């Protein structure tokens, strides 16, 4: 616990996408991330070169790019340099002796905000935690930037 029970630091290794979602296999997901980062880098270059986009929009694109790069670094290399954490604490190992091969690593998540538990009598959500996902800083950069872009910069997508 950091601030009472509503904010905790945990250690969770996530096989999938943001907030632990698993939709496709690791090679597809890593390939998609690499293509997305390449596209976002190109887009950011074009936006900066154009000079007519607001600073906040540029910051949002840069934060999405930074978050994607952070998750890629975990995915590409984390499995190569750490032992498995199943039943123990992960530790550094010599390069290539980790629990997974290149592009097969898990992303480390650590922020947990169990703000409150829904009352038992509520249908569908009763007894569940209001916001249960564990996430990392990269996920937060991506998610907050996408929300900010949808709220404040919609006109730049049309």
d(CA 9, CA 2): 7
Predicted structure pTM score: 0.83
Task: Give the residue-averaged pLDDT of 37-63.
Answer: 95
Is 74 a catalytic site residue? no
Q: Of residues 109, 134, 141, 145, which has the active-site annotation? A: 109
Q: Give the pLDDT band of residue 158 (cuts 50, 70, 90).
A: low
d(CA 72, CA 102): 11
d(CA 37, CA 22): 19
Q: Of residues 14, 74, 139, 149, which has the active-site annotation? A: 139
- The pLDDT of residue 69 is 94
Tell me if 112 sits within 8 A of 7, measured CB to CB. yes
Record the tokens describing residue 11, joined without a space: 């250690």
pLDDT in tens, 67-124: 999 988 988 898 899 988 887 778 899 998 998 888 888 888 889 998 888 999 999 9
Is 139 a catalytic site residue? yes
Residue of 144, 157, 11, 154 whose CA lies nearest to 67? 144
- The pLDDT of residue 18 is 61
Record the tokens describing residue 153, joined without a space: 């910069």
- The pLDDT of residue 3 is 75
Q: CA end-to-end span of the chain, whole Å?
A: 44
- The pLDDT of residue 21 is 67
- Region for residue 51 given its phi and psi (left: phi exceeds 0; alpha: psi -120 to 50; beta: otherwise): left
- The pLDDT of residue 17 is 67
pLDDT, mean over the chain: 88
- The pLDDT of residue 25 is 78
Inter-residue long-range contacts of 24-29, CB under 8 Å, 24+ positions, other chains counted: 26/75, 26/103, 26/104, 27/103, 29/75
pLDDT in tens, 2-13: 877 889 998 888
Higher per-residue pLDDT: 150 or 20: 150
pLDDT over threshold 80, residue 16: no
- The pLDDT of residue 19 is 59
């Amino acid at each position: 616990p950091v601030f009472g029970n509503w904010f905790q630091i945990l250690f969770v290794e996530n096989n999938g996408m943001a907030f632990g979602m698993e939709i496709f296999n690791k090679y597809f997901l890593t390939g998609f991330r690499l293509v997305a980062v390449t596209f976002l880098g190109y887009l950011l270059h074009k936006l900066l070169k154009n000079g007519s986009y607001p600073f906040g929009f540029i910051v949002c694109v840069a934060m999405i790019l930074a978050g994607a790069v952070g998750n890629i670094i975990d995915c590409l290399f984390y499995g190569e340099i750490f032992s498995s954490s199943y039943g123990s604490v992960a530790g550094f190992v010599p390069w290539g002796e980790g629990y997974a091969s290149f592009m097969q690593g898990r992303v480390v998540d650590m922020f947990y905000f169990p703000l409150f538990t829904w009352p038992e009598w509520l249908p569908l959500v009763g007894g569940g935690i209001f916001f249960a996902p564990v996430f990392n800083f990269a996920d937060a950069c991506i998610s907050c930037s996408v929300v900010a872009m949808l709220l404040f910069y919609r006109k730049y997508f049309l």
